[in-house]
Structure formats: structure tokens, C-alpha cells
Structure 1
Amino acid sequence: MRDDVPAPADGTPRTVLMCPGQGAYLPGVLRHLGDVPSVSRVLGAVEAHSSALGGTGPPVGALLTDVAAPGPDRLVRTHPLAFDLATYAAVVACSTVLLDLAAPPVHAVLGHSVGDLAALTVAGAITLEQGVRLLHVRDGLLRDAALPAAGLLATDLPPESAADLLHAEGLREVRIAACNAPRQTVLAGPDDELAAVRRTVRALGRRATPLTSRTAYHHPLLTDVHRAFRRLLRAQPVAPPALAVHTATTAGPARTPAQLRTVAAAHLTEPMALHRTLRAMRLAGFTTYLDSGPRALLSTLAKAGLPGCTTAAPFRTPAGVDHVRNRLTAALR
């Protein structure tokens, strides 16, 4: 444990498992883990539940175990539901491996954007079948909404600078979707206005990267979809979670069934403040942050937001169980 990270009052370091959203899809990411029983159970269950609901498109198992599967940009254009299901299955499957290997044990989950659905599943608040059903329902709502072309843009601007730029440029339809780190702000809005923002940000010598996304999540464009999704969520049973559930949309944990249902829908319209959530978790005694996705996306943000914290990203590149265990041990040593 690092000296500049406060320890819990009882002296026990706490560990959180971070569940990323759309960035978690990587073709063949589970190709070395397909035979792990917990992973094969997740992939099989997601495919079975999706088929029962009339799902079409590439099988989730093939997308996650075949390196030649379609890349994120192509898949989200051609089979957006398959993209969502593969993202969800990858995070849940990787999380089952980490829960088996982690020492000390995991005390909480932290969802990021649509990764909240995976976090709720890993914590035991909803089942895999519910998670798949919710993604199918959400897909239908998004298709029926006839939304304008819209998306997400990641910048290296502080949130205050991003807000000033949007005001100065008169881009009223672009909103701050996420404050992920002191110098990572994600913007959401119609494609034409995002293109204008991108040109302006790059002219300033800063980074502006379009993110793979079927629409502008965390934006008022999805208000009607959000309302319909929330109505459907009221009928969903929610179990008491075995792990504390945190989300980037609020500073504290979700405890009640109503709060947990709110978490499931938050990614549609609610802006994220991951940096705020991470600071609150550190004050609550969380010292170690495990990333359940590829490319170390959330662990990188945790390092940026919490200097001195301990992070591990054992799936940063595809690996088998032994390599995952070794990476985890080395990071937590």
C-alpha cells in the first residue's frame, strides 16, 4: 500500500473491480480464456439468452475468441446489438476470472457508462439473463427513437476549458458527457457539432479523438429512451448486491433497489464524473483498482485521478490464466 493513499479505519485495504463500457470490446480478447469454465459459462449463457430473445448477428463467443472478428467501428455500424452484448460479456467474463484470482479479495465494483450493467451483474444485483434482456430492450428503444447522427469525442481538455470552448463557439447541442480525469473530458452531441469541436480543439494543439459509439450517450438526446427504459426497469427484480456498487455518475454507492435501477439507466442521459467518484472512493479507504477490460482504459484513468494508488490491468493484452495471475501478482506486490 502506498503512503499517500489513506487506509480504512480498520486497517484493511479495500479493492475495487472496475467495469469499463464500450471500450471493452476487442476482437479475440478472450481467445486464451475460452476454455476457462467461468468464462465459457458466461459466453454460453449470453448467447443462449440472446438467441431466445431473437438475437441475430455474430455470436458473442466468436467475437471474443476470434482475433479475425470485426473491429469495434465496423461491428457497431453493422451489428450494434452484437457490439453491446460482446462488450457486456467480455467485462463480466474477465471479472469472473479476477474474482477468482484476486488477493486480497474484491470489496466493490465500479461501473463506467454502460459498464454499469456489467458491474450490477458481477455484484449479483441482476442476473446474466436480465443483463442480456436489458440490452435487447435498449437496442429496440434506440432503433425506434430515430435519433440524429451523434456520438462521443474524447479530449485532453480540463472540464472547465471544455465548457468555455463550447460556450465561446456557440455549440449548444454539445454537452460534457464525462469528466474522467483532470485532463480527460468526453463530449457528446450531434456529429456535425462534434466535428466543429474536433477542428477547434486540434487547432489549439490539443487531442480530440472520436470514440466508437452508436449514439451520444450521457446526453439529453436520449431523454425519451431513458424514460422508457426506466419504466421497464421498474418491473425488474433487483437482488441485494454481494459487492458494493459504485458508478461514475454519482459519488456514493448505490444501495437500494431504486438506486440500483437508476444505475442501470444512468449511461443514457446522466453525465459522468469519474474523477469525483474515485476521490470519494479513496476517502472511503479503497486503495487498489483492478481493471477488467483490455487496453487498461480505466486503470489509466485511476492513475491520473489518484496519484499513488495501486492499479492492475491484467487483460491489457489477451492472455491466459497463468499470465493474468502473474500480471495481477506483479501489480499488487
Structure 2
Amino acid sequence: MNHGPPLPAAGTPRTVLMCPGQGAYLPGALRHLRDVPPVAQVLRRVDTHSAKLGGSGGPPVGLLLTDPGAPGPGRLVLTAPLAFDLATYAAVTASATLLLDLADPPVHAVLGHSVGDLAALTVAGVITPEQGVRLLHLRDRLLRDAALPAAGLLATDMTADRAADLIRTEGLAQLRVAARNAPAQTVLAGPDDELAAVGRTARERGHRATPLTSRTAYHHPLLTEVHRTFRRHLRAEPVAPPTLAVYTATTHRPVRTPAGLRTAAAAHLTEPMAFHRTLDALRGAGFTTYLDSGPRALLSALARAGLPGCTTAAPSRTPAGVDRLRLRLAAALR
């Protein structure tokens, strides 16, 4: 049985690289890094393999991630949802791969958040970029064939218990708590009409309620059949032993076995996340520094809220060249 790579001895400061999902696409985010070999290679591999599979119906990720004038997230998810998914995956995979190369001292683990699990599995060497692209093409076909109702995600500043109480009292039977991200950030998933209703009530009560850019209601039973078929296809996917410890926001233990790694690749479809619980487990395992590989510093903000006193950084939070990234990393890891 594969138990994954060893972690540093007890008492040694440990660093985890976090891989976001929704919200990780930003037009032109990698424009200063387009010629850096690790980034250029990821973008080329994603676009080449996507073209072999029939393209994405939208601009190539190499253009989306290096041109600031490329379509924004809201427009892209509506007009070319597969291109949006591929760009999200490529952005995180390319950025995380480069940060792993630059980090000194090194990173000891990766943590995926939602569909960011696919990027985390890629940078840990479990799957290849070509496998990631193939899985996203498969998921796109399954989502289109499922003819799902209009549905999505809504971020609130409520606790999970308060959000669950609101769902019950409003009689919104199809809404679910999709993510317990932080003490005061809970994400809800479900049909658009019910999300709109709960959003109105939440705002009337003085809470924030923000729709997230998403093509459907991930982490929700609406996707049960998609999840079942996706898992069936995953059984045939080869997985390699991880080169870094792999964590996911759907469980608080490191994922080590081939079966567990395949489960992690599909978890974002139906499994609710308890990101705060995973962060607590990482702190208990001695992790002291949390690096965000996304362009918007979303996960570093959540880590800061959930783990007061920890070191957080988002080196890729704004487009930057290699020298600037190296300086940002050095400041976080000193």
C-alpha cells in the first residue's frame, strides 16, 4: 500500500500549497510568466491535449491566461464553460508548479479546494496534465448530457449552523451547505431560484450573500448521477504515488491510497467541504505556512480567518514575473 512521501520530523515547520477551484480564473493572470518553462509547458500541454479531444468551444487557455483582454469569468462560464474549466485548472496547475520550483525551503503538502483537487493531484504527480484535461472534457460531457436545472453556488458570511437554520425556516428543500470554509463563510449550493430566495432573506437580515461564478451546483446531490459515472471512468485512470502529501477540503486526513486519490478527483461533484476542519488537521500535523496558488488570494484569506496566527501568503495574487514571485515567497517562508 502506498503511504505517500514522508513528512518532516515533528517540530519542523511545514508548508502547504493550496490549490483553489472556483474563482481561480483571471484573464491574463499569467501574462508575465508565459515564457517561463514550467508555466509555458503546462499551458501547451493543456491546449494540445484539449485540441486532440475536440477543443473546448472557446479560446485556448494559453490565450485566456496571458491576455488581460480575454473574456472575464462571468462571460466565459456562460459562453464556453469547458474553456472556463480548463483555464481554471491550467491557471492553478501552472502557478502551483512554478511556486513549488521556487519555494525555499520546500513545500511539504498540497491542499485542493473543490475542483482545485484536480490541480493538487497534478502538481503532486498523481495524474498528468493530459489526464486532468481528459477528466474535464469527460465531466463537461456528463454535465451537458445530464440536462440539469439552472443551479449554482452562493457565498454568505453566515456560520454553517445559521445558514442551515435559514434554509429550514424558509422551506428551501433543495438547498445544501456546500462548504464550511471559515467561521463566517459558508457556501450554499442548489437551484438558482432557491439561491435567489435565500440570498434575499440573508440580505434582509444584514448578511452578505454573493453568487459565485460557477456552471452548476457543485458539492450537491443534483450531481449524483454525474458523480457515479465520473467515478466509474476514474477506475480506469492510472494514478501514481504522490510526491507530496495530498489533502482535500472534503476530508481532514491526508489522501494516500490509489482508491482515495481517485475519490478525491471526483469529490467536488457531490461531497460537501469542511475546509476549516482540514485546516485544523493541518495545524495539528505541524503545518505553519499556507501558500495560495490562486490569483485572488481566496484560500489564504480563509486560512487566515480559520487559523489565527498562522503564516499565509498569496504570491500569485496579482500578475507578476518570476523575480517578484521569488521575493514574495521569500518573505512568506523566512
TM norm structure 1: 0.97
2:125 is aligned to: 124
Query: What is the SS of the residue equivalent to 1:252?
Result: strand
Query: What is the SS of the residue equivalent to 1:187?
Result: strand
Quick check: 1:46 aligned with 2:40?
no
**Contact residue 42 and residue 92 of structure 1 kept, 8 A:** yes
1:219 is aligned to: 220
1:41 Cα deviation after fit: 0.4
Amino acid of the structure 1 residue aligned with 2:322: V
1:104 is aligned to: 105
**Contact residue 109 and residue 244 of structure 2 kept, 8 A:** yes
1:9 Cα deviation after fit: 5.8
1:241 Cα deviation after fit: 0.5
String of CA shifts for 1:145-192, please: whole Å, max 9, x gaps. 000000000000000100111111111100000000000000000000
1:10 and 1:171 map into 2 onto residues whose CA distance is 47
Amino acid of the structure 2 residue aligned with 1:85: L
Query: What is the SS of the residue equivalent to 1:213?
Result: coil
1:157 is aligned to: 158
Query: What is the SS of the residue equivalent to 2:289?
Result: strand
**Contact residue 223 and residue 268 of structure 1 kept, 8 A:** yes
Amino acid of the structure 2 residue aligned with 1:37: P
1:5 is aligned to: none
Quick check: 1:62 aligned with 2:63?
yes
1:33 is aligned to: 33
**Contact residue 287 and residue 309 of structure 1 kept, 8 A:** yes
1:4 is aligned to: none
2:72 is aligned to: 71
1:305 and 1:45 map into 2 onto residues whose CA distance is 36
1:96 and 1:238 map into 2 onto residues whose CA distance is 18
2:289 is aligned to: 288
Amino acid of the structure 1 residue aligned with 2:24: A
**Contact residue 105 and residue 333 of structure 2 kept, 8 A:** no
Query: What is the SS of the residue equivalent to 1:148?
Result: coil
CA RMSD, Structure 1 to Structure 2 (Å): 0.8
**Contact residue 10 and residue 286 of structure 2 kept, 8 A:** no
2:17 is aligned to: 17
Alignment gaps of 5+ in structure 1: 1-7
Query: What is the SS of the residue equivalent to 2:227?
Result: helix
1:232 and 1:330 map into 2 onto residues whose CA distance is 43
1:328 is aligned to: 329
Query: What is the SS of the residue equivalent to 1:214?
Result: coil
2:11 and 2:246 map into 1 onto residues whose CA distance is 21
1:270 Cα deviation after fit: 0.2
1:11 Cα deviation after fit: 2.3
2:319 and 2:262 map into 1 onto residues whose CA distance is 32
2:130 and 2:331 map into 1 onto residues whose CA distance is 35
1:10 and 1:210 map into 2 onto residues whose CA distance is 41
What pairs with 1:246-265 in structure 2 (closer than 5 Å)?
246-265=247-266
TM norm structure 2: 0.96
How many pairs are equivalent?
326
**Contact residue 25 and residue 87 of structure 1 kept, 8 A:** yes
1:330 Cα deviation after fit: 1.9
Amino acid of the structure 1 residue aligned with 2:32: H
Identity of aligned residues (%): 79
1:282 and 1:161 map into 2 onto residues whose CA distance is 26
1:118 and 1:226 map into 2 onto residues whose CA distance is 18
1:97 Cα deviation after fit: 1.2
**Contact residue 16 and residue 109 of structure 1 kept, 8 A:** yes
String of CA shifts for 1:115-147, please: whole Å, max 9, x gaps. 000000000000111000000000000000000
Alignment gaps of 5+ in structure 2: 1-7
1:259 Cα deviation after fit: 0.3
1:121 and 1:274 map into 2 onto residues whose CA distance is 20
1:212 and 1:95 map into 2 onto residues whose CA distance is 22
Amino acid of the structure 1 residue aligned with 2:28: G
Amino acid of the structure 2 residue aligned with 1:224: E
2:276 is aligned to: 275
Quick check: 1:86 aligned with 2:84?
no
What pairs with 1:143-154 in structure 2 (closer than 5 Å)?
143-154=144-155
**Contact residue 311 and residue 332 of structure 1 kept, 8 A:** no
2:240 and 2:230 map into 1 onto residues whose CA distance is 19
1:331 Cα deviation after fit: 2.6
2:5 is aligned to: none
1:327 Cα deviation after fit: 1.4
1:332 Cα deviation after fit: 2.8
1:10 Cα deviation after fit: 2.8
String of CA shifts for 1:8-41, please: whole Å, max 9, x gaps. 8632111100000021000000000001011000
Amino acid of the structure 2 residue aligned with 1:32: H
Amino acid of the structure 2 residue aligned with 1:43: L
- Structure 1's consecutive aligned runs of 4 or more residues displaced over 4 angstroms after TM superposition are none
1:126 and 1:10 map into 2 onto residues whose CA distance is 29
What pairs with 1:97-246 in structure 2 (closer than 5 Å)?
97-246=98-247
**Contact residue 245 and residue 254 of structure 1 kept, 8 A:** yes
**Contact residue 178 and residue 218 of structure 2 kept, 8 A:** yes
Amino acid of the structure 2 residue aligned with 1:22: Q
1:285 Cα deviation after fit: 0.7
